[in-house]
Amino acid sequence: MKFSYLILTFFSASILVGCSKDFLKTEPTQFTTPDRLGADARQDSKLLNGSIAGLYTTMFAVNGGGTGGHDDFGQKSIDIYLDMLESDMVLGALNYGWYSNLARYNASVDFTTNEVYMPFRYYYRQIFGANTIIEILGGNDAVPADAGNKYTMGQAKAMRAYSYFYLSQIYGKEYGSGSDKLIPVYTSSKQVNQPKATTKEVFDLMVKDLDDAIVLLTGFTRATKDQIDINVAKGLLAYVLSARGTTADLGRVVTLSQEIMTAYAKTSPAQLYFNGTNATTAGFNNVATPSWMWGVDITLAQGLNLISWWGQIDQFTYSYTWAGDPKTIDRRLYDAIRPDDIRINQFASPTAASRRLQPINKFWAPARVSGGQRNVETDNLYMRSDEFYLLNAEAKARLNQDAAAKTTLKAYLADRVTNISYIDALSGTRLLDEIYLQTRIELWGEGKAYLAMKRLKRPVVRGSNHLFEAGKTFPYDDPRLSFVIPQAEVLNNPNLNK
């Protein structure tokens, strides 16, 4: 892989913002080395604040995947891709063309498409930045003495693991035996053109990085929710272990998710949907929502508008959904929501004259004026506590702890579904299927159902409202449900398949 020198230049510039005048004068060289920066960072741990902040900014930056497309805006752009691959999100019209090749299942198997290039470039860009920070702080095995540097190291390792996790899910079919070749692994910014590592090697690195991060982030109090803290690192580790799925892994998932459940309440019923009067206090638009573990406060200064997650999803934002390319819930999934489930109110009725099956009461700009939000101020969500209430129940069910799984699931659904007694009769596969269904309902539009589909090996069955392949079934390991390695990597990395 050939990383752009532009990334390194930008990264170095962000570091130098925090340098003192004395530092700039002591060694008037053309380039600043990681060793020199590391020495200076040991004197002032604030030196790297701009660098770690740059990784978080890339998560919502327009063109973070290098395509210039209006579907390229960081993590949330990839969340839409995943929801469409898993097919719970439906492209409702073809007026502008964005996502049409993805919805047709054409893009994922064509290595020349921007769709398969964008996530690859985005996550390896994050990995390069994380590796550079880790090197400045002493390398993969270093434990900085300074508390500030220790917290920065923890965040960088967690960001590296986050990136490898999504790459492993998007570009791989399953964990398998662990010997399957998956993706290239880079643990240093100096490495180039690495061959594909085995799935075991990728997962071992992610687990080690996140275990290290949890230790390093102990005692860290973050200033804003866009930063990774110990609970976010635990959440990422729970996802990695769930995907690998050994008995020992699932036991750790139960423990990690329980710790998160203790630290965070779930999203309350009053925050789940618009009820006619709570436009400014509910909805998935505010990072201050107590159940949001990881997200970013979007402000006018960040300059997001047409090209944004909100622009592609929200009827009340001036962009593609408002202009005629709505994103809706799959009809089969909508029909599977029980009538006594309050979450059915998140979506417009299938019989509505307009906005049919759109998530107008889950995601909205608070003014609720159609096309009214021209410059985006609504916030981006990356992780919330509800994911781990459901993951806790899932892990217990996968461990054949049916009674414990049912207890967790019933407690979670008690303020969402009026009659939860039907859960008592479930066991085995039927219980796990119900947990999977509830995960898809609760987390619709948040990019997480694809991860559940992969780890539980569940087929995709498209509802009647899809423009393409309506009513058809696709097994979880169908090549169209994963991405091929993009052309740029195949051509530029001669060692890829060695």
pLDDT digits (tens, 9 = 90+) for 115-139: 999 999 999 999 999 999 999 999 9
pLDDT higher at 33 or 232? 232
Q: For the chain, give percent helix, strand, coil, nearest 5.
A: 50, 5, 45
Percentage of the chain beyond pLDDT 90 is 88
**In the predicted structure, residue 149 carries a pLDDT above the cut 80:** yes
**In the predicted structure, residue 11 carries a pLDDT above the cut 60:** no
CB 305 within 8 A of CB 365: no
**In the predicted structure, residue 28 carries a pLDDT above the cut 50:** no
CB 82 within 8 A of CB 450: yes
The tokens describing 486, both together, are: 């993009």
pLDDT digits (tens, 9 = 90+) for 76-117: 999 999 999 999 999 999 999 999 999 999 999 999 999 999
Q: What is the pLDDT of residue 47?
A: 81
Beta bridge mates, 196 = 184
User: Residue written as tokens 């939000």?
Assistant: 373
Residues 6+ apart with CB under 8 A from 214: 154, 230, 233, 234, 237
Helix (H) or strand (E) holding 296: strand 292-296
Q: How many helices (H) and strands (E) does the chain have?
A: 20, 8
pLDDT digits (tens, 9 = 90+) for 306-328: 999 999 999 999 999 999 999 99
Side chain identity at 280, as an amino acid letter? T
Question: What mean pLDDT is predicted for residues 9-20?
Answer: 39
pLDDT digits (tens, 9 = 90+) for 286-302: 999 999 999 999 999 99
- Sequence ranges of the domains in the chain: 5-270+383-492
> Per CATH, the architecture of 5-270+383-492 is what?
Alpha Horseshoe (1.25)
Distances in Å between the Cα of 66 and the Cα atoms of 74, 137, 291, 330 are: 10, 28, 32, 30
Q: What is the pLDDT of residue 19?
A: 34
Query: What pLDDT band is residue 175 in, cutting at 50, 70 and 90?
Result: confident
Q: What is the pLDDT of residue 476?
A: 97
Taking every pair of C-alpha atoms in the chain, what is the biggest distance, in angstroms?
Answer: 74
